[in-house]
A and B are shown apart, each in its own frame.
Chain A
Amino acid sequence: MGALGKPIILMVTMYLFLKFVLPNIPGSAPLPSSLIFLYLLLTVSGIVIYETLSGETKDAFWGPMQGFLTGEKIGGLQALRYGVLILFPLLVGWQTYGSTATSDLPPTEGRTIHPAPPGEYTGLSNPVPKTPDNIMQGKGFYAAFCSPCHGGNFDGKGPAARGFNPPPANFADPTTIAMLQESYLFWRIKKGGVGLPIEGAPWRSAMPRWEVELPDEWIWKIIMGEYDGAHQSPRTWE
């Protein structure tokens, strides 16, 4: 196993780097598992190419694996070898069944949680001065219009929330309003769920289109009150 030692260490290091180090670089974010998989696949390809460049390294790299497969001089590993040779076709069969079987599950309509806003709703800043009075007023509007779904505790667990799918956003969660700019919230509140682009699945959204009932100034105050109440800050322009 000597020749495989370094490649294995490299793969593990690469995985740990992608999973835990890279996301913490400023400007970065957690990587989706599909991307991590892609990078690991690239690493494996690189290792294989590198190891097979010359005759000696190739034999040292593949030798142990070949020996394992043919059963040559592997002593006590015979049982493991048989295990692998039996399980591999079964694994292939299981995967084939999984991908050809008609799914019993409803369609997975992947929904983009924060789709891009229309151009006119980017870059807007809250015109309402951030005073305790305005924050208080915003919280009052929030209690009247938003809390039935989004909850008095800003946690998405209002009394009216339980029947809705997708559920009302939890503002106390760091992946909702804390990740967004006020301009984005203004768009979402004003235009509602029906204002979402197709990737946001507007037909599913219970979010009202508040521009029909509330003036812009009230919406800006609600945004202010909401951040304050949920103990979050908006993402600001760099």
Chain B
Amino acid sequence: MKPAGQMMKQVLRGGSAVIASLIIGGASLTFAQESVAVRAALVTGGLPLDDPNAAAWSSVSPASFPMSPQVHWPNRIQEVTVKDVAVRALYDGKQVVFLLEYADPTQDPDDGAALEFMVGDKKAHFAHGQPMLQVEGGPVNIWFWKNKTGKAVDMSAKGFGTLKPQAHQDVNAKGAYSNGTWKVVFSRNLSTDHPEEDVQITPGQFISIAFAVWDGRKDAAGELVEKGSQKAVSSWWYFRADAPPDYSSYMYAAVAVALAWGFQFVLIRKLKKGQ
């Protein structure tokens, strides 16, 4: 019975390989995607670093994210102007550039926008890295642009009331307003000399990103409505500088097809001999 026993083992092994591959395939389909990501394609030269209206942007498809009024912590705001932001990004191996685009009916000196990132290996809460009770969190790196200064401030925070500009300013930003739409570009080197306070961007790796926007409009009394913590905020989403495409998995698949075909061939030949 030995040949039959060996045959059985082959069948069982082959069968469990099929089952295992079905489990892996099935499992990967059942994970629902909660997150959306903005991706930066790699370009060779000609990054639109200062130009929100550059032609290069028109070939990049935006990722759109919804915004909420900041209602969790004082000082709250129940309603904000900006409901969505559209984000595009590009990089060239040395620098990364983001384009933030959103609808804002009026152009005001106090209009502002910011990008937020986690820093280092630790997670950080999206509200300025506020402390978490059971998890040790890290700081956040905030790139903050204001219309009236016309530039960006590179900032750090680790909890409410701790937001401050960094000693080393690495971020550039430029805004352009037209027809009820703001377009703001933020640019920075992928890596900086201060990884303990600056987000480091590695191509191929997903990192967390969040957005905030202020509409600098004033109410009837001449007071700013959206200021400080009274802003439009988003949750954490994902950003990735996409690495160039890699075709090795096609090769692995081809090898697997050859192996499976070979297994079938050997198995059937053995079965025929046994009959």
Question: Is the beta-carbon distance between B69 and A160 smaller than 8 angstroms?
Answer: yes
Within 8 A of A (CB), among B3-33: 4, 8, 11-12, 17-19, 21-28, 30-31, 33
CA distance A48 to B26 in the complex (A): 23
**How would you classify the secondary structure of chain B's contact residues: helix, strand, loop or mixed?**
mixed
In the complex, the answer to whether B206 meets A107 with C-beta atoms within 8 Å is: yes
A102 at the interface (CB under 8 A from B): yes
Q: Which of A52-73 contact B (CB under 8 A)?
A: 52, 55, 58, 62, 65-66, 69-70, 72
A27 within 8 A of B: no
A89-B132 contact given A95-B21, A105-B33, A194-B125, CB 8 Å threshold = no
With A93-B254, A160-B69, A198-B135 in contact, is A165–B271 under 8 Å at CB? Answer: no
Known: A62-B8, A204-B126. A163 touches B133 (CB 8 A): no
B34 near A165: Cβ-Cβ < 8 Å: yes
Tell me, yes or no, whether A166 is within 8 Å of chain B by CB.
yes
Determine the distance from Cα of A55 to Cα of B1 in the docked complex, in whole angstroms. 9
| Closest-CB distance, B238 to chain A (whole angstroms) | 4
A194 to B129, CA, bound (A): 10
Per-residue CB contact flags for chain A residues 22-51 toward chain B (1 = under 8 Å, else 0) read 000000000001100100010000001000
Q: Chain A binding site: helix, strand, loop or mixed by DSSP?
A: helix
Q: Is the CB of B71 within 8 A of A148?
A: yes
Interface size class of B (residues with CB under 8 A): 35 or more
Q: Is the CB of A203 within 8 A of B33?
A: no
- A204–B123 Cα gap in the complex (Å)? 9
CB distance from B220 to the nearest CB of A (A): 22
Pick the residue among A33, A106, A159 that contacts B37 (CB under 8 A): A106
Known contacts A101-B249, A165-B235; 17 further A-B pairs (Cβ under 8 A): A85-B264, A89-B258, A92-B259, A93-B253, A94-B253, A95-B21, A97-B256, A98-B25, A98-B28, A99-B25, A106-B240, A109-B34, A109-B35, A162-B83, A165-B237, A193-B125, A206-B72
**B: which residues have CB within 8 A of A?**
1, 4, 8, 11-12, 17-19, 21-28, 30-31, 33-37, 65-69, 71-74, 78-79, 83, 118, 123-126, 130-135, 137, 204, 206, 232-238, 240, 243, 246, 248-250, 252-261, 264, 267-268, 271-272, 275
